[in-house]
Structure 1
Amino acid sequence: MLQMTRSGLARIAAVVVTACAISTISPAPASAQAQMTGFRQAVAEYASDDRQLAKFYRESNFGAVWTGEGADFLQRRKALITELSRVATHGLPQNRYDAAGLIEQMRTAKTPRDLGMLDVALSKAYLSYAHDVQSGIVIPSSVDKGIVREVNYHDRAELMSDLINGDAAEVMRALAPHSPEYARLRKEMMRLHDLIALGGWGATVPGKKLEPGDQGASVIKLRDRLIAMGYLNRSATMSYDKTIEAAVQQFQSDHGLTPDGVAGTGTLTEINVPAEDRLKSVLVAMERERWMNMELGERHVLVNLTDFTAKIIDDGKVTFETRSVIGMKQLDRRSPEFSDVMEHMIINPTWNVPRSIAVKEYLPQLQKNPNAASHLRLTDVRGRLVDRGAVDFTQFNTRNFPFDMKQPPSSRNALGLVKFMFPNPQNVYLHDTPAKSLFGRESRAYSHGCIRLQQPFDFAYALLARQTDDPKGQFQSILKTGRETKVDLELQIPVHIIYRTATIPAKGKAIYRRDVYGRDALIWSELEQAGVVLGAVRG
């Protein structure tokens, strides 16, 4: 349970570490052979339901990992109980690993069989914690079919070997993601816990719109809430003055809103989001970070769907950023989340209309008017151009439509003048678009699933700059031919399409975004079912 402050965690850790240190794990007198046999039988029996753990114990001749005598065994017990006592600082459920039960089991172990059962129980608790803190509690694919992220699950036998061969405390501390973002999320989580314990951000702001020049009780509540959020220094102003306007603009920028300085309906809705809900976003972001507990690449492309942006990251710093348009908020058009590798770009691309779009959108038009969508070419299975006037489209349906539809390269092509390819089963890529007006909107979920870029040419130049002295010249010379041309990337680049409603920059305040597709709400529900709760913070 997430119900403890840092001082509370320290006190609990001190208690459980002392319990491990003073526990005397010594079985009742018996022959050495009988003791060993009873211990090994218990280990074999209680580890049998875990194939990898059973393999580890079998290969180590069913020897003790935790319950032997000596400093190494004591240090492992202390390290484990210490970690389990502070799992809440990782946003994990405190009761999931039953540290208190393990301590009681240590206290009452009397026979070799007791010790064997205890050894396996401690190993299972360690492996359960290692799994959760390394790779997450929730299985992504169980939440939403649009989350197709492949999580790296570590071999359990290897985790046991790491423990045996290393310093236990260091091994366990190293389990969690090492990314700076994860560390910042943890810090923000604790800050929000402390804030909630003090009452959060205070009263919500009533009304539908407040703007510069306004006065009254609503403005005072807006002022007080901005002060509590850290966007405004202490002030006694009762009017919507320049300082409040500037604070509102900064809040809007941090929350993906148009920074016009006017607290309209959308802005007030975000201002009135309680600290508890922001904490949920942070906890979900930590879980998502555990799913991506891997090297992202010194240079990589990062697309945050909720932020409607695409970035190039070099050595942890943003070197290029552009606005994006993502998939519509419809079940079959929402952009998926996954990672892959960008291999090439295609300049002057042909748009091969996906079959789902062809039969769901264009076939009904053709049935009404064979000359509809005249910008698209119809071809048969042999690639021959189809004479529309000779076809009765009413005889076809979504299952038997026999034609392919294509749009030749042009500035009016649905893909624009360039697309960036990282071949994947989802058939998602980044591309240009002739629909430039959509980039001016605050919320930009309008595509069929692919990611449209506002500045695709500059994006291409940034990618090509690693392989040519004149990236713009090379790109433009190919573009002017009007011919579809594939340009391989000499340095293939990892692409990570993510979905984060909470991100923490190295400097400045936490950045929050709306849960565009409702995916975070589903993940939070799964975390709650696993035992993560937002309760009163205890000192």
Structure 2
Amino acid sequence: MIGTKHFRTIWLWAALATIMALLTLPGSAQAQTKVTAFMQAVAEAAASDKDIAAFYKANGYKGIWTGSFGKDASRRKALFEAVSNAPEHGLPVDRYDPDGLKARLKAAKTPRDRGFAEVEMSRTFLRLARDMQTGLVVPRQIDPGIVRAVPYRSRVSYLENFTKSNPRSFFKALPPKTTEYTRLRKEKIRLERLLARGGWGEQVPAKALKPGQSGAAVVALRNRLVAMKYLRRSSTQTYDATVQKAVQQFQLDHGLAADGVAGPGTISEINMGVADRLKSVIVAMERERWLNQPRGKRHILVNIPDFKVKIIENDKVTFESRVVVGANQHDRRSPEFSDTMEHMVINPTWNVPRSIAVKEYLPMLKRNPGAASHLRLVDARGRTVSRNSVNFGAYTAKTFPFNLKQPPSRRNALGLVKFMFPNKYNIYLHDTPAKNLFERESRAYSHGCIRVHKPFELAYALLSKQSTDPEGTFKSHLGTGRESVVPLESQVQVHLIYRTAFTEPKRRTQYRRDVYGRDAKIWNALAKAGVALRAVRG
């Protein structure tokens, strides 16, 4: 591989050769001298960045920023306006060094100086454009479970399209155009104003409170709920029915069991400060930029911290169900990515993943060959093997030569249906016989796949696009008791996302716990890059 320094040298010589060829074009000697100095400076400054270098080579080494009037002036103005507006998107102004750029432009008295300033403007422009459109940080560098393929655009295309566009309109088109991003921006402004006013006041000095109690802690709870606009101003000092109703609404907006009792979990969420909620919103905006691409007019959305799956059609929720997601353990957390659902399998066989077979079942089989009798032992040729003929103690996790399979049944670990969007992470949505877990407030228990509380209803919703009787179609396959693959004629995009702050039409912004700690990592990365909370008066 050619090193950066070697590439720069080769490119610079090639660039200078091109410049010399351009100098043979007709024109005054004085003009050629000025152009030559500018072009040489552009070639030198761009040599360390192959994308910028490619753009200027194709552009004949002409400037797009540093001319005194006309389009260049409009582009400069638009860039500096976009930089000054960066905090509105949760991006740090200092990252783009506008003062340094302006000083450099002011000090550029010669064509050579202008050439270096020209390239620096392009470098800053590219950084801002990509940050605004597809995010400041790289997901995979934050957490191994964030395996989302960010739709990065060609850096050269940014420069090419910018020169052909209205500068202001170009910058306005960069951020996501989703209603979610728009509502998150509004929530960000609301929280910034709250932060300037001191937040929601005194925290509740109690571990738990319940209806019927009174005293100073209840007054603090009342005041906190009033400040959050869950409760009208009141003089009550008792945890009465009005306070209980306000607590219940708060619980609904924060993914808590809505019993109206302020237990430890509810008190902890009520005591969460404005600054922490603002961090969640800024992280959600960054995540929205990572997904800045068409999601499908009809798509499936699984929000891991919300423990919900939804079908979204033309921005409206047409199906919703609780889900169980991966447990908060390093090898069981559900990953974040997008793919396409192609088919469902009714009466599925559970092919036990290798990791589960050797980590969980092999030790059991060593202790008792008859353990997990619901699973068949299968060799490499697909033949069922008698357990009595196997010395399980002779194998390790690496040498275990068998597969484990569970035939279709109501006791099958996948339940009676699974929904497939084939991917290298072996993640899918499925039914489960363990229905009790869906009643829990926090539902992170699986090995990574998404267990669905209402799998039949999800199947009916998906089949409704290809059958006049989706329920009958589904049950006709189910009734056979045999494994059956049903292709989806209208394949559906699936997005596994992770949002601790998200919005819903005509409702308050929703907040959830950072179940895997991923948002905390993202915030730390953003803060390291210069993102800071703002308290805005207004």
* Same-fold status (TM-score > 0.5): yes
In 1: Cα distance, 2:60 partner to 2:356 partner: 60
Moved more, 185-194 or 320-329: 185-194
When normalised by structure 2's length, the TM-score is: 0.93
How far off is 1:508 after superposition? Answer: 1.8
* Structure 1 position 70 matched with structure 2 position 58: no
Match status 1:150 vs 2:149:
yes
1:429 aligns with 2:428: yes
CA contact (8 A) 2:319 2:458 kept: yes
3-state secondary structure, aligned to 1:183: helix
Q: Give the structure-1-normalised TM-score.
A: 0.93
Distance 1:249 1:415 in 2: 34
Task: Determine helix, strand or coil for the equivalent of 1:481.
Answer: coil
Instruction: Provide the C-alpha distance between the structure 1 equivalents of 2:379 and 2:328, rounded to a whole number of angstroms.
Output: 33
In structure 2, the residue matched to 1:7 is: none
Q: Counterpart of 1:111?
A: 110
Cα offset for 1:74?
A: 1.2
Q: Please give the per-residue CA displacement for 1:439-488, whole angstroms capped at 9, x wherever unaligned.
A: 00000011111000000000000000000100000100110000000000
SS at match of 1:496: strand
1:503 is aligned to 2:510: no
Matches within 5 A, 1:139-538: 139-534=138-533, 537=536
| Divergent runs of 4+, >4 A | 535-539
Identity of aligned residues (%): 58
Amino acid at match of 2:235: A
Alignment check: 8 A CA contact 2:193 2:535 kept: no
- 1:106, CA displacement in angstroms? 2.0
Distance 2:536 2:180 in 1: 24
Give the drift of 1:92. 0.5
Q: State the superposition RMSD in angstroms.
A: 1.1
Partner deviation per Cα, 1:254-277 (whole Å, 9 max, x = no partner): 000011011111100000011101
**Unpaired segments ≥5 residues, structure 2:** 1-28
**Counterpart AA for 1:416:** G
Task: Provide the aligned length of Structure 1 versus Structure 2.
Answer: 510
Shift of 1:190: 1.3
Return the alpha-carbon distance in structure 1 between the equivalents of residues 351 and 496 of structure 2.
23
Q: Does the aligned pair in 1 maintain the 2:193–2:537 contact within 8 Å?
A: no
Distance in 1 between residues matched to 2:53 and 2:67, nearest whole Å: 18
Q: SS of the counterpart of 1:419? A: strand
Specify the SS of the correspondent of 2:377: strand
The letter for the 1-side match of 2:434 is: A
Structure 1 residues 8-23: aligned runs within 5 Å: none
Whole-angstrom CA distance in 2 between matches of 1:376 and 1:66: 68
* Secondary structure at 1:345 match in 2: strand
- Greater shift, 31-40 or 402-411, is seen at 31-40
Give, in angstroms, the shift of residue 537 of structure 1: 4.7
Q: Which residue of 2 aligns with 1:87?
A: 86
The C-alpha deviation readout for 1:271-291, integer Å capped at 9, x for no partner, is 001110111101110110010
Cα distance in 2 between the residues matched to 1:242 and 1:54: 68
CA shift for structure 1 position 32: 1.9
Counterpart CA distance in 2 for 1:270 and 1:282 is: 16
**CA positional deviation for 1:525:** 0.9
> Are the counterparts in 1 of residues 324 and 451 from structure 2 also a CA contact under 8 Å?
yes
User: For each residue in 1:64-88, what CA deviation from the matched residue of structure 2 results, as whole angstroms up to 9, or x when unmatched?
Assistant: 1011233211111110000101100
Cα deviation, residue 506, structure 1: 2.2
CA contact (8 A) 2:145 2:336 kept: yes
Once the two structures are TM-superposed, the CA of residue 535 in structure 1 deviates from its matched residue by 5.4
Alpha-carbon distance in 1 for matches of 2:491, 2:90: 35
Q: Structure 1 residues 290 and 524 mapped into 2: Cα distance closer, same or farther (>3 Å)?
A: same
Look up the equivalent residue of 1:75 and give its one-letter code: S
Q: Classify the secondary structure of the residue corresponding to 2:236.
A: coil
Partner SS, residue 256 of structure 2: coil
CA positional deviation for 1:34 = 1.5
Q: Tell me, yes or no, if the aligned pair for 2:284 and 2:501 is still in contact at 8 Å.
A: yes
CA distance in 2, matches of 1:44, 1:250: 62
Structure 1: runs of 5+ lacking an equivalent: 1-29
What is the rounded CA distance, in whole Å, between the counterparts of 1:87 and 1:327 in structure 2?
35
CA distance in 2, matches of 1:538, 1:81: 23
- Shift of residue 94, structure 1, vs aligned partner: 1.5
